[in-house]
Homo-oligomer: A and B are copies of this chain.
Amino acid sequence: MNKIYLDNNATTAVKEEVLDAMLPYFREQFGNPSSVHWAGRMVSSAIEKAREQVAELLNCSPAEVIFLSCGSEGDNYAIKGTAEALKHKGNHIITTAVEHPAVLETCEALEKDGFEVTYLGVDRDGMLDLKELEAAITPQTILISVMWANNETGNIFPISEIGAIAKKHRVRFHTDAVQAAGKIPVDVRAANVDMAVISGHKIGAPKGVGAMYLKRGTKINRFMHGGHQERNRRAGTHNVAGIVGLGVACELALRDLDSNYAYVRQLRDKLEQGILETIPEVKLNGHPDADLRLPNTLNVSFNYIEGESLLLFFDMKGIAASSGSACTSGSLEPSHVMGAMGVDIVLAHSSTRFSLGPDNTEEEIDYVLNELPPIVQRLREMSPLYNREEPTPLSCDECRMVHRA
């Protein structure tokens, strides 16, 4: 069977060069980089090399890079660490309603501790109003946290503009760059970012490793307490192989950014046009201007069909994608991103994300464009919402979950 992986925003395969670079660090060079002896020395320089590779992708100094276990840890650390370090200055945080749960849940946890959080809304295209952002800043504001690009829609936020606003008001600025890094240029210095978070497994490094850019001089409380690793900024024995992999992945990402993503963009545009042209009642989620979305991401709602069943039917044809349906996330509500954009509840349950990568081919896109229409049609035929005359009950009061036997 064909296996067509269009879920690169969820995770990516480890690149061959990355795995090759990692392999020696499991058995031959297995030492603890904190050790004084040969086994430690062999690996500590590998970590410093990786630090340089990450720094180069982000355009910062290696000393400003902290290795972590994942993107979520970076978001937790940046936000909680800032809140604690700056609580004498104020208790107000500004973020957006469309952040990743690693940011949103962290902010919600801080609300319970007495912090006030402004969740900026977005328009129907999923975009922020920068005037609203600036107006939300108060003398109590200690942090602005806005993602560089959204994982569901691919929308790219105007990070340089936000950086300028943050600088003007002397407010610290954190950006979750997990989806942006490696797909579009991420220059933390040019954008006036104070903290930026990336995750290895979104860019061809393994799962379980991430990094944070922490601008020199930025005061932050520890998140992971313990040993003196990472110059006292992150305790825990270094994930040496993962860090080496992250470094190589960053180097490759930087080297291949332009060529890879011109190619990926063209495949994505083909998929986008193909779907919108051949299947009726499909809604594009995200900004209609494709330049304002990541070059690899397409999010559409196939009206009348719940996302998980669509994914499972795609899967029977070997096509891997993802959905904003509640049923695929373990939560009861569909995607908060669709909700924030004011997407109708059925369309939110129907939202489907195709996220491409440089390994995809034109033939794969042709195959997908061929297979999709009959699947969509078959599921629509099965749906009580399709060609329905009576109105659909939409209010949650009527939700029949309570009726279960």
Contacts and interface: CB of A to CB of B under 8 A. Distances in A.
A76 B37 contact: no
Contacts of A302: none
B37 A240 contact: no
A11 B27 contact: no
A308 B36 contact: yes
A140 interface: no
B320 A39 contact: yes
A161 interface: no
A224 interface: yes
Contacts of A38: 3, 315, 318, 320
Contact of A237 (B34, B75, B199, B227): B199
A226 B102 contact: yes
B14 A32 contact: no
Contacts of A255: none
A144 to B, nearest CB: 19
A158 to B, nearest CB: 25
Contacts of A27: 13-14, 16, 19
Contact of A32 (B11, B209, B314): B11
A219 interface: no
A139 interface: no
B14 A30 contact: yes
B69 A239 contact: yes
Contacts of A76: 223-226, 235
Interface stretch (A163-171, A181-189, A275-283, A322-330): A322-330
A130 interface: no
Interface stretch (A57-65, A200-208, A362-370): A200-208
Interface string A1-21: 001010100111110100100
A320 B37 contact: yes
Nearest to A106: B225
Contacts of A101: 225-228, 235
Contact of A226 (B37, B105, B224): B105
Contact of A71 (B5, B100, B236, B312): B236
Contacts of A237: 11, 70-72, 199, 201, 207-208
30 contacts: A3-B38, A3-B39, A11-B32, A11-B237, A13-B30, A14-B26, A22-B26, A36-B323, A37-B311, A37-B312, A37-B320, A39-B320, A69-B236, A70-B237, A70-B239, A71-B237, A72-B224, A75-B226, A76-B223, A101-B227, A101-B228, A102-B235, A102-B236, A106-B225, A108-B225, A206-B241, A207-B242, A208-B239, A228-B330, A228-B331
